[in-house]
Amino acid sequence: MNGSAKAAMISENQADSVILQAEQLKSLLGTEVYQVWLIDEGGNKVRAGTFPP
C-alpha cells in the first residue's frame, strides 16, 4: 500500500473534532468505504467515522 494519512485532533469550546488528510489510497469496490478508528492509551477503540476514497 502506497497511501498515507495525517490526522489532527482539535478541542474547541468543549467539542472535539478529528481532521484527516489521506492521499493515494487504494480504490475500493462498490459501496466500500474507509473507516477511522481512535485508540487510546489503554487500547480502547472508538469509531470516528467513515469516508469514501
| The overall pTM is greater than 0.85 | no
Domains of the chain by residue range: 4-51
Q: How confident is the model at residue 1 (pLDDT cuts 50, 70, 90)?
A: low
Q: How far lies 42's CA from each of 19, 24, 35, 45, 51, in Å?
A: 22, 31, 20, 9, 26
Report pLDDT for 11.
Answer: 93
Tell whether the model's pLDDT for residue 45 goes beyond 90: yes
Report pLDDT for 8.
Answer: 92
pLDDT in tens, 7-42: 998 999 999 888 999 999 999 999 999 999 989 899
Report pLDDT for 53.
Answer: 79
Cβ–Cβ < 8 Å for 22, 34: yes
